[in-house]
Structure 1
């Protein structure tokens, strides 16, 4: 167990922490690519993995720096629609023992999600994957267009959390938690590498049952 004041809640990142949707995001973005004539090459799973965790606007600035703002925003909108449609039908890959771990954690903590995804994405995860029974609330970049640390602070304020912990898989997650004044646990099985500075590291979701 982590030796600290008992936490009253856990806030999770989504991509790379609770599930991996990259394979089906590629399917969606490839469909979007077929609708336009200005994307230079196919979109790969490595592309999607490389930007996981970034704010949705920043993702398209990073992957398509050669596009002007109008075309980038157009393509982002097409991708967003196809992404939600495809994930609603196909879902993503839940990490092993996720449901059993959340069942255990729910007996002791209030559970939440804060992600840098587009609006509607968390709802697809909750509905398609049957995860809505575990989580009390959520917030994302697409709702207000604000950085992750502010979304963490909003969840803390909106739900009157006293001592939350944030679990994520990237340096961006760690930095956001730090800015929000929330302890951080690193999920090493996700997309981030060389992430330090957390209060603990988990190598699989089920490790949470041993440390919390």
Structure 2
């Protein structure tokens, strides 16, 4: 239970605000094809790894690929995603856009994800929520884990009582490392029973924080 009203809500992206796994899978498979790799990635395989930094995903999906080829592959994935994500995007979860707009009238809102540099900005533009977001930070910006990025964000914006909203047990682990309360959304990609609050929909989450005194 969150006792103190937060001064900021910091939101994960994938599995919390949208589902863009189909687009990510397409981009990865295009990169495999262009590099002459026979691997064909399925949505279900990538879904299990969502929220994980790309270098860790690579170790799972391409265990036999040498380091130099991995670097080239990752660079190509980034190029393809930069082209495809703004066009194909993903599916916003129900209630996200209107919820973000409502919450921004009371709270400072931030995005924090393990995605690559620039993808949070692509997401915010695609979702048409840019005007309500006060800032963002990602693994691609700093090459730091989420807990470290939480502390960095807190320091940078002088946040006193932020909370992290995410959809995996790993999100909760990182929030606790940063000393933040963790709000879990059950509709996302992961599962956990370790949280301070949990909601079944973004609309339910929005109503709770709008009425928190």
TM above 0.5, yes or no, is yes
> Would you say how many aligned residue pairs link Structure 1 and Structure 2?
209
C-alpha deviations, 1:146-189, integer Å up to 9, x for none? 11111111111111111111000011100110000000011111
Rounded Cα–Cα distance in structure 2 between residues aligned with 1:156 and 1:56:
24
Q: Distance in 2 between matches of 1:210 and 1:159?
A: 25
Instruction: Indicate how the Cα distance of structure 1 residues 21 and 3 shifts in structure 2: closer, same or farther if over 3 A, else same.
Output: closer
Whole-angstrom CA distance in 1 between matches of 2:205 and 2:103:
8
| Gap runs ≥5 in structure 1 | none
In structure 1, the residue corresponding to 2:78 is in which secondary structure?
helix
- Aligned residue runs from structure 1 range 3-152, under 5 A: 4-37=3-36, 39-152=37-150
Any conservation in 1 of the 2:100–2:129 contact (CA below 8 Å)?
no
SS at match of 1:16: coil
Secondary structure of 2:34's aligned partner: coil
CA deviation digits over 1:51-79, x for unaligned, max 9?
Answer: 10001211111211111111111111111
**Residues 99 and 203 of structure 2 are in contact (CA less than 8 Å); yes or no, is this contact kept in structure 1?**
yes
Q: What is the rounded CA distance, in whole Å, between the counterparts of 1:150 and 1:183 in structure 2?
A: 15
Q: Is the 8 A contact 1:22 1:45 kept in 2?
A: yes
Alpha-carbon distance in structure 1 between the residues aligned to 2:178 and 2:162: 10
Q: CA deviation at 1:103?
A: 1.5
The separation in 2 between residues aligned to 1:11 and 1:21, in whole angstroms, is 19
Could you say what the CA RMSD is over the residues aligned between the two structures, in angstroms? Answer: 1.2
Alignment check: 8 A CA contact 1:56 1:142 kept: no
Secondary structure of the equivalent of 2:130? coil
Q: 1:3 to 1:28 in 2, by over 3 A?
A: closer
The one of 204, 207, 211 equivalent to 1:207 is 204
The runs of 4+ residues in structure 1 deviating greater than 2 Å are: none
Equivalent pair of 1:141/1:147 in contact (CA under 8 Å): yes
Q: TM-score normalized by structure 1? A: 0.95
In the alignment, the residues of structure 2 paired with residue 179 and residue 25 of structure 1 have an alpha-carbon distance, to the nearest angstrom, of: 29
Q: Output the CA distance in 1 between the equivalents of 2:57 and 2:2.
A: 37
Q: Aligned-pair distance for 1:40?
A: 3.4
Structure 2 spans left out of the alignment, 5+ residues? none
Is the 2:2–2:181 Cα contact (8 Å) retained in structure 1? no
